[in-house]
Structure 1
Amino acid sequence: MHPFRRRVRPAVEAMPEVEISEEGNIRSLHLGSETIQSSMDLDDPPDLVLSYSRAMMGFLLWNDDPKHILQIGLGGGSFARFIDEYLPDAVSVAVDINPQVIAVARAFFQLPEEGDFFEIVEADGADYVKIFRGSTDAILVDGFDGLQIVDALTTEDFFEDCKRALSPKGVFVTNWWSGDKRYQSFIERLLNVFEGRVIELPAATHGNVAVMAFRQSPSLTQWEALRKRADELEGRFGLEFGEFVNRLKQTNQQTAGHLLI
C-alpha cells in the first residue's frame, strides 16, 4: 500500500474507482488497483516521472514542433503539463471517458489552464478521434482500466480512425505492456493498418513499450542523424533521447546505417 493513499472519488458505474497516493514528493493516480497510472513530482510538475511517459515523447525525434496533439486518456495529466511547459505553441486536447478521472486531475494534479491551447473533453476516445481528418500531428494513447489497456483502443478500426486523423507527418503513439499475452496481436494489427511503419521503444522499467506508427515513412532514419537529433533535443526537453535511440536500435529492424520504418 502506498503511503497516504486515499480514495477520492467513488467509481462510476462500470468504471474503476479513482484513488491518489503520495510518497515523498510524488503524487500518483490509481484506478481501482495498486498499479500507478500516472505520477506527478510536486516540486517539478511538468517532469515526466514514469519511464513509459518519457518514452512516449520519443516521437519528438521526428517532429519536435507539433501544432496539434490529441491525448486519449487524461490520467493525472502528465502529458498535458509537459506539453504546456515545453511545447507552449501546440494545441493539446485530452479526452477521457471517466468523469471522475477528469475531476481528480483538475483538483489534485495541477493541470494547465483550459483555453485556446488546452482542452479536456469527456468522451470515448475511440469515438472522438473520428472527428479528425488529417489534422493532428500526434495521437498519444494511454487508456488503461486499472488492469489492462481498454479493448476499444486496440482494434484495427480504431487504428484506421487514428491513421485518418493524423497529418501527413503525424505519429500515433500508444503505451502497451510487453507482458500482455495479446501484445503481438496488437502489433500485427498496427503493422497491417500502417503498412509496416511501426517501431517499438521500450520504457526503462516495468515492461512498458511506447509503440509508434507513422502516417508516412519519416525521412529521418539514419542512426547518425538520429543521434545528432537526440543530442539537440535532450537539453531542450530534459529527456534522455540518446538512450531512446539506443533502445530503438536494440529493438527494431535495421540496416547498418538506418532504422527501418
Structure 2
Amino acid sequence: MQNQSKKLVHKSMWGERLVEIYDRDDFRYLYFNSRFLQSKMSLRSPRHLALPYTRYMMLSLFFVPNPKRILLIGLGAGSLVRYLHEVLPESKIDAVDHSEQVIDLARGYFHLPDSARVSIHCQDGVDYIKRNRTNEPYDLILLDAFDEQGMADGIYSREFFELCARSLSPSGLLCCNLWSGKPEDVQNISRELTLLFPGQLTCNVPQRGNIINYSLPYSVKWHHFSLLRRRKKMLRDRFGLDYDSMTTKLIKNNLGYLEQMLLLLLG
C-alpha cells in the first residue's frame, strides 16, 4: 500500500504480530505485519464483499439459498457476517474466532453487526463444534481460518471435517477457503473432504491464490449445473453478486470441454 493518501487508523501488537488498519480512498484495510492483507471493507457500502474470494464463497447460496443456521469459523474483520446478516434476514449466524483482539477490531472498526441474529464466540473452532454437535444442525458452514502463515492446521484437518459432516443438515453445505504456498497441502485437504462428502466442487478465484471448495452430503449431478446456468440472473438480483462470471468459472473448473459444450447446447 504505497500511497500517500492512506491514513493509519489503528496500530497494535498481537503477540509478535503487528496489526494495522488503514483507510485509503473508499476502503478500510486490515493488515498483519504490514504486508499480509487480512480484510478489506468499503466505507460507503460495508455490506459489499470487497475481496474476490469472499464473493466466490457465496456461490454456496445457489445450493443453500435459504439457510436458517449458518456457522463461520474464522471471523477476520467480519466481511461474511456483515453480508449474510443483510441478505438473509431470516438466518441465525454463529461466528467463531479464537482471538479476542480480532473480534474487538471487527466490532470497533469494521461494522460487525450488533444483532440478536448474530452470536460471536471467542473460542477454538474445533472445541466449539465439538460442544455444539447435539444442537440443531447447520445449513451452511463457512471455513475461513487464516493468518499470514496460511491455513490453521487444527481447523483444516480430518477431525474437524468429520465434525462438520455430522453438524450439517441433510441438504447442507461446507464451504472452505483453501490457500497455501504448498500445492500438496491443498491436495491433501481436498482428498480428506472427498472421503467425507460425496459432492465435491472446486473453483479457483481468478488472479488469486485462493481455491474455494464446496462439499455437499449428496452427489452433484448434471441438472445442478443446468439449474445454475438458468438461475444465475435470479441469484444476481437477489444477492447482488456477479453470478454470471462466477457460474462460468465454476462450470469450467468442474466439467470437461465436451460437457461444457453439451450444457450450452441443452441449456
What TM-score results when the alignment is normalised by the length of structure 2?
0.88
In structure 2, distance between residues paired with 1:194 and 1:219: 14
- Check conservation: 2:75, 2:95, Cα contact below 8 A: yes
Residue 224 of structure 1 and its aligned partner are, at CA, apart by 2.7
Aligned match of 1:187: 190
CA gap of 1:104–1:148, structure 2 versus 1, over 3 A, is same
CA gap of 1:240–1:210, structure 2 versus 1, over 3 A, is same
Unmatched 5+ residue regions in structure 1? none
1:122-180 Cα deviation digits (max 9, x unpaired): 00112212213561011111111222011112111111011111111111011112653
**Percent identity of equivalent pairs:** 34
In structure 2, distance between residues paired with 1:251 and 1:220: 14
Of 170-179 and 236-245, more deviation after overlay is shown by 170-179
- Report the 3-state secondary structure (helix = DSSP H, G, I; strand = E; otherwise coil) of the residue aligned with 2:49: coil
In structure 2, distance between residues paired with 1:123 and 1:221: 40
- Check conservation: 1:25, 1:41, Cα contact below 8 A: yes
Q: Which amino acid aligns with 1:172?
A: L
Q: Which amino acid aligns with 1:128?
A: Y
Aligned match of 1:125: 125
Q: Which amino acid aligns with 1:8?
A: K
Residue 218 of structure 1 and its aligned partner are, at CA, apart by 5.2
1:60-115 Cα deviation digits (max 9, x unpaired): 11111110110101111101110111111100111000111001110000111132
Q: Which has the higher helix share?
A: 2
CA gap of 1:214–1:198, structure 2 versus 1, over 3 A, is same
RMSD: 2.0
In structure 1, distance between residues paired with 2:7 and 2:217: 44
Residue 244 of structure 1 and its aligned partner are, at CA, apart by 1.7
Aligned match of 1:91: 92
Aligned match of 1:164: 166
CA gap of 1:178–1:98, structure 2 versus 1, over 3 A, is closer
In structure 2, distance between residues paired with 1:51 and 1:185: 24
Aligned match of 1:111: 112
Correspondence 1:225 to 2:219: no
- Check conservation: 1:30, 1:146, Cα contact below 8 A: no
In structure 2, distance between residues paired with 1:184 and 1:25: 37
CA gap of 1:219–1:68, structure 2 versus 1, over 3 A, is farther
Residue 19 of structure 1 and its aligned partner are, at CA, apart by 2.1
CA gap of 1:33–1:230, structure 2 versus 1, over 3 A, is same
CA gap of 1:186–1:33, structure 2 versus 1, over 3 A, is farther
- Report the 3-state secondary structure (helix = DSSP H, G, I; strand = E; otherwise coil) of the residue aligned with 1:153: coil
Q: Which amino acid aligns with 1:35?
A: F
- Check conservation: 2:20, 2:32, Cα contact below 8 A: yes
- Check conservation: 2:150, 2:180, Cα contact below 8 A: no
